[in-house]
Amino acid sequence: MDQFIQQFLTGLSIGSILLLVAIGLSIIYGAMGIINLAHGEFVMLGAYAAWFLQVQFGMGLLTSLVPIFLLVAAFGWLIERFVLSFLNNRPLDTILATWGVGIMLQQAVRLTAGGELRYVKMPEALSNSTDILGVQISLYRVFLLVASLVLFAATWLLMNRTTVGMKLRAIIQDRSVAASFGVNARRIYGLTFAYGAGLAGLAGALVSPLKSVSPEMGTGYVIDAFMVVVLGGVQSLVGTVASAFILGELSGVIAFLQNDTVAKAIVLLAIVVLIRFRPQGMFATRVRA
Amino acid sequence: MLADRAHREGFFVFEQGMEMKLTRRQLLRNTAAFGAFASTGFPHIWIKNADLASAAAGEIKVGVLFSLTGTTAIIEESLNKATLLAIEEINAAGGIKGMKIVPVVEDPASDPATFADKARKLVVGDKCVSVFGSYTSASRKAVLPVFERQNNLYWYPTLYEGRECSKNVIYTGAVPNQQQDEFIPWLINKFGKKFYLIGSNYIYPKEENNYCKKLLQKHGGEVVAEEYVPLGHSEFSSVINKFKSTQPNVIFSTVVGDSVVALHRQYHAAGLDPEKMPMASLTTSENEIAAMGGEAAAGHFTSAPYFMVFQSPENEKFVAAYKKRWGADKVTHFVSEACYFQIHLFKQAVEKLAVSDITPPNIRDAVKGQETLAPQGKVRIEPENLHTWLWPKIAQAQSDGQFKILVQAKNWLKPLPYAAYPGQVCSEKGLVVQN
């Protein structure tokens, strides 16, 4: 029984990290249809921002979260404004452009911060482990789980309970009609992309104390994030959450019974099979078109 | 709207008319621009000397082949730095018989195929008499045919899995017997006989574990689990659950690269105790510890021929020079040390030759049996197999990010690249298989 609970909590924790990384991508891909291959680099920028603020200004991880969100969001806004907004409705060019931006970011970080792995300190109060239902689990992992759910809730509220969110949903349904009602699509797109980038930055900062910080760290995350978004169904935030936790539990359990190499292969295979029979993902939102 | 539906319905579904928009010229332009970008990379230390082709011009050209970009650049950058430092020191002291060593630095971008291309360029195009390079076994295997066909010489500084007997490679890193012979019995003695073997999923950890299992058998240890995670893996929570359920006495880790950092940090966060279940590693160096933080590293063990804290006049000089040249926050480790002393071995070998005789095969023959005072102690190239006699040490990581050396070998240890394969010996004539 202990082992079952232990494994269940582990799956939740893996899922929460997947969710953290995927939310930003889900917003950008779902709302704007942009396949953002630089997403992993936004994650990486967040982690490096955490490192930089810690080394230069001695800021703890928790206090630096807001500045990190703003920094990476501002950077995302610039990318949208000066690169992607010129490539509207050109998906292939957008993929190439975001890929290029990603490579440039990697190299820029390598040239400025150096190529070695960097260290981000875990908040003192969260560095121990705690007992939940009789099993030991890292406090920081519990914190990540809570953080991912909070970010999800905030994003959901933003999309469904604010004017900006409403305008965005209007644009998603029909950009030209929304524009004719006075919605400034360019502005909304810029804000959306900035928000998605900011979330990616937060994700990078939050996972950095458990993982390693290097210029290439984003590559792995972007693949995971795409798996989550594609499996969950584009445009469905709830789908993203569900698929993150399903993938987390699934890879956790298979890794426990077999090993991580097998887990990775089986999870990918499962996604491929599912996409074959349900290309829209598990939770497709129905929208009149 | 068509476009919106396309976005909703799948991953790579593009709008109608997409094919029309992407003309061939556009595609060519895009790919060409991208290709140029990818292959050029960024400028780095770049010493070009295409017009001076031979050693006769008072210069000795050598290749330096460590990745400055890509995944393993994290560690290979430091190898590049240690190599250049040694070359600069030798040149500053007058070079070799008055000739300067000219390093031709190439960036193989962490990609084995690029390693082979750049190696060919250095050997055939630049006519280097030796190339110093590689961190991963994959990249060494990729360049091997180039050096064997051209009969040139490759100097490989990394600890590796052994089981190789090339006459065109000088191996200055440790092989399994030099890291494990002392380590495994010591661990059994101190902590117990149940071992959990965890490694990254490729040849190096599998060969090391192969040898480890032989030693465990010999010394009465047992394997509770043997497991491999994908390269670059960073989620170890299920692995840690297995540590908890199998309760080994020692976790024998051959996990490499950034995975080491994730494994240690998650082990620490999960509240496991290094005093009861320490990780014993062959690959965790000062470099990785700087990235994981002292608190996650403290209490775990590493076996290697060199640690930054080792006290010897040569090491003090090396560490001081390295920090002065590359920055006070930089660390030296067991691979960068080998990068450093192998240049000195190269110098000694070339010094023995007449200027007209400086060719790769002659350098190889001259380096056989050469000894030098390296930071770790006196090392020697074994004439039989071109591997290096080294000084095994066992150390425990401390919370200040450095190691504390607990055990030092009383004698240097002969390299046995085929220790795990009884009946096979690497000799001067090549691999000998006795039945």
What's at B33, amino acid-wise?
Answer: A
Inspect the interface and report whether the beta carbons of A210 and B269 lie closer than 8 Å: yes
Averaged pLDDT, A155-179 = 89
What residue type is assigned to position B409 of the chain? Answer: A
Of B280, B304, B328, which marks where a domain is finished? B304
Choosing among B265, B268, B273, which should be mutated to test the A contact, i.e. which has the most A CBs within 10 A?
A: B265
Q: How many domains, chain A?
A: 1
One domain, residues B331 and B365: yes
- How buried is residue B292: exposed, middle or buried, by Cβ count under 10 Å (0-12/13-18/19+)? buried
Chain B residues within an 8 Å CB radius of A206: none
Is residue B399, in this structure, part of any structural domain at all? no
pLDDT at residue number B4: 44
Residues 3..62 of B with a Cβ closer than 8 Å to A: which? Answer: 3-11, 14-15, 18, 21-22, 30, 34, 37-38, 41-42
Distance from CA of A211 to the nearest CA of B (A): 4
How many Å lie between the alpha carbon of B358 and the closest alpha carbon of chain A? 36
Average predicted confidence (pLDDT) for chain A: 90
- Which of A112, A117, A283 to mutate: most B Cβ within 10 Å? A117
**A289 inside domain:** no
Strands (E), B85-230: 100-106, 131-133, 154-156, 169-171, 194-200, 222-229
Q: What is the pLDDT of residue B435?
A: 65
pLDDT at site A154: 95
Taking 90 as the threshold, does the pLDDT of residue B41 lie above it?
Answer: no
Q: Which of B269, B304, B339 is the last residue of a domain?
A: B304
Is the predicted pLDDT of residue B49 greater than 60, yes or no? no
Taking the CA of residue B313 and the nearest CA in chain A, the distance in Å comes to: 28
Q: Do residue B235 and residue A91 have CB atoms under 8 angstroms apart?
A: no
Rounded Cα distance between A174 and A170, Å, is 6
Buried b / exposed e over A59-83, threshold 16 CB at 10 Å, is bebeebbebbbebbbebbbebbbeb
- Name the least confident of A159-163, B149-153, B322-326: A159-163
pLDDT at residue B1, as a whole number:
39
B56-65 mean pLDDT: 88
Which one of B304, B321, B344 terminates a domain?
B304
CB A197 within 8 A of CB B252: no
Q: Tell me how close the Cα of B366 comes to any Cα of chain A, in angstroms.
A: 36
Give yes or no: residues B299 and B316 share one domain: no
pLDDT in tens, B385-408: 999 999 999 999 999 999 999 999
What part of B 273-312 touches A (C-beta under 8 Å)?
Answer: 287-288, 290-293, 295
Q: In chain B, whose CA is at the least distance from the CA of A171?
A: B4
Pairwise CA distance, residues B50 & A221, whole Å: 42
Number of domains present in the structure of chain B: 3
Of A7, A127, A259, the CB nearest to B229: A259
* Cβ-based contacts of B38 with chain A (< 8 Å): 103
pLDDT tens by residue, B72-119 = 887 898 999 999 999 999 999 999 999 999 999 999 988 999 999 999
Of B5, B10, B258, the CB nearest to A214: B258
pLDDT band at B70 (very low <50, low <70, confident <90, very high): confident
Please, are residues B59 and B75 in contact by the beta-carbon 8 Å criterion? no
Q: Model confidence over A74-85: pLDDT tens digits?
A: 999 999 999 998
Q: Is B50 within a domain? A: no
Q: If you measure CA to CA, which chain A residue comes closest to B265?
A: A210
Confidence band of A33 (pLDDT split at 50, 70, 90):
confident
CB contact under 8 A, B8 and A287: yes
Q: Are residues B258 and B295 in the same domain?
A: yes
| Closest in B6, B10, B15 to A279, CB measured | B10
The whole-angstrom separation of Cα B208 and Cα B112 is 22
Residue B362 lies in a domain: yes
Residues B298, B325, single domain; the answer is no
Residue A160's nearest CA partner among A267, A237, A65 is A237
pLDDT tens profile A191-201:
999 999 999 99
Distances (CA, A) of B173 to A266, B66, B282, B387, B415: 37, 15, 12, 8, 9
Confidence of residue A253 (pLDDT cuts 50, 70, 90): very high
Closest-CA distance, A187 to chain B, in angstroms, reads 19
- Quick check: is A285 in a domain? no
Domain annotation covers residue A125: yes
Cα nearest neighbour of A139 on chain B: B269
Chain A residues touching B209 at Cβ < 8 A: none
What's the domain range around A271?
A: 2-277
Nearest-Cα distance to chain B for A242, in Å, is: 18
Residue whose tokens read 């004017």: A163
- What is the model's pLDDT at position A287? 55
| Chain B neighbors of A96, CB-CB under 8 A | 30, 34
Name the residue in chain A with its Cα closest to that of B230: A261
Q: Do A230 and B11 touch (CB under 8 A)?
A: yes
Q: Are residues B170 and B116 in the same domain?
A: yes
pLDDT the model gives residue B175? 96
pLDDT at A288 over 60: no
Cβ neighbours for B168, distance < 8 A, ≥ 6 positions apart:
B144, B147, B148, B151, B152, B153, B154, B360, B364
Q: Please indicate whether, in this complex, the C-beta atoms of B238 and A263 are within 8 angstroms of each other.
A: yes
Q: For residue A49, give the CATH number of its domain.
A: 1.10.3470
Indicate whether A282 belongs to any domain: no
Cβ contact, residue pair A174, B4, below 8 Å: yes
Instruction: Count the Cβ atoms, other than its own, within 10 Å of residue B30.
Output: 16
Neighbours of B294 (CB within 10 A): 15
pLDDT at residue number B204: 93
Q: Are residue B26 and residue B75 in the same domain, yes or no?
A: no
Calculate mean pLDDT across residues B34-50. 40
Assigned domain for B99 exists:
yes
Which pLDDT tens digit goes with each residue over B153-175? 999 999 999 999 999 999 999 99
**Does residue B43 form part of some domain?**
no
pLDDT of residue A282: 84
Range of the domain at B133: 55-174+310-391
Q: How many CB pairs under 8 A join A and B?
A: 165
Partner-chain contact B262 A210, CB within 8 Å: yes
Q: Is the pLDDT of residue B25 over 80?
A: no
Q: Do A33 and B7 lie within an 8 Å CB cutoff?
A: yes
Tell me the CATH number at B219.
3.40.50.2300
Structure tokens at B419: 């220790």
Closest CB to A115: pick one of B14, B73, B268. Answer: B73
* Res B38: pLDDT: 41
ipTM field: 0.88
**Whether residue A91 has pLDDT greater than 80:** yes
Q: pLDDT category, B256, cuts 50, 70, 90?
A: confident
Distance from CA of B400 to the nearest CA of A (A): 14
